[in-house]
Copies of this chain bind each other. A is one copy, B any other.
Amino acid sequence: MAKKKPDLADFQYCGAGGGRAAKSFDLTQFDPSAKPFGSGDKARDKQTAADLALELDELQNLFWADKRFRLLVVLQGTDTSGKDGTIRGVFGQMSPLGVHTVGWKAPTEPERARDYLWRIHQQVPANGEVMIFNRSHYEDVLVPPVSGWITPAQTKQRYAQINDFERMLTETGTVIVKFLLHISKEEQRVRLQERLDDPTKHWKFALGDLDARKLWDTYQRAYSDAIAATGTPWAPWTIVPADSKTHRNLMIAQVMKKVFEAMKLRYPDSDPRLKNLKVV
């Protein structure tokens, strides 16, 4: 029996936020070590991903010129899931002129003194800009419920607020793409140990990371719940099997290419007054 060819749609979830019944979602159904979009040849996949990164640079250049859209890329995932590596591997060829990254940390005092979307809204992309969120407002529906700082009812309220906020952004010209980098607990162990074994990587290590690791299953459940509630038609989630860094970059680059292509990007019309203009 021929194996079904994998489709990106199989890894996208957009069943929430509408009047219709939500498609059920469970993160544990996805194998973190799978390589559904790989060729089976690692060197070849690496080359394909690198080629795609160059194509994305071209597309982003056109996107910057076109100025009709704004693009918000959300990267979520546990520690060591490869968010930094994705930014370098997939978006690293693009011009810093129109590509920006924000790494979201625990909120500061002035941030905690306002609603949790306040600081997020300040950083949304402008016309022609690509904004990459390294972590995001989704931390506000992961850490607080897992830590017991907010109730399940408050978490549900936040899901709805996030859906409203993201819908407004998309209605006003922002395209939102959300990736969950999905690694296994064993792969995280290997990567954390690598950091510990290499003193030049100790700056990436925080003792708190181990506390979150102790709550692995609880966090996986919190991710499942958040994706189930906020994977919407206007801002779907893509689940990226990410134990393999090469496959992770390959898959995300493919999604990004499709996102840009769907925009039917074009250079702006040139001003007709420029046509026969002579510079004297």
Contact = CB atoms under 8 A, between A and B. Distances in A.
A114 B71 CA distance: 11
Interface string A161-179: 1001101110111100000
A117 interface: yes
A83 interface: no
B157 A161 contact: no
A149 to B, nearest CB: 14
A113 interface: yes
A124 B119 CA distance: 11
Contact of A115 (B114, B161, B173): B173
Interface string A69-92: 010000000000000000000000
Identical chains in the assembly: 2
Contact of A174 (B115, B127, B173, B174): B115
Contact of A168 (B115, B122, B172, B173): B115
Given A161-B168, A168-B164, A171-B157, A117 B113 contact: no
A116 interface: yes
Contacts of A113: 70, 126-128
A105 to B, nearest CB: 19
A208 interface: no
Contacts of A126: 110, 113-114
Interface in A100-129: 110, 113-118, 121-122, 124-128
A12 to B, nearest CB: 24
- The CB with the most chain B CB atoms within 10 A, among A115, A116, A124, is that of A115
A183 B110 CA distance: 39
Contacts of A168: 115, 117, 161, 164-165
- The CB with the most chain B CB atoms within 10 A, among A122, A161, A168, A171, is that of A168
Contacts of A117: 121, 168
A168 B114 CA distance: 11
A168 B137 CA distance: 14
Given A115-B172, A121-B122, A164-B168, 19 more contacts: A70-B113, A113-B127, A113-B128, A114-B125, A114-B126, A114-B127, A114-B172, A115-B169, A116-B172, A117-B121, A118-B124, A122-B122, A157-B171, A161-B164, A161-B167, A161-B168, A161-B172, A164-B164, A164-B165
12 contacts: A114-B124, A114-B127, A115-B124, A115-B169, A117-B168, A118-B124, A157-B171, A161-B168, A161-B171, A161-B172, A164-B165, A164-B167
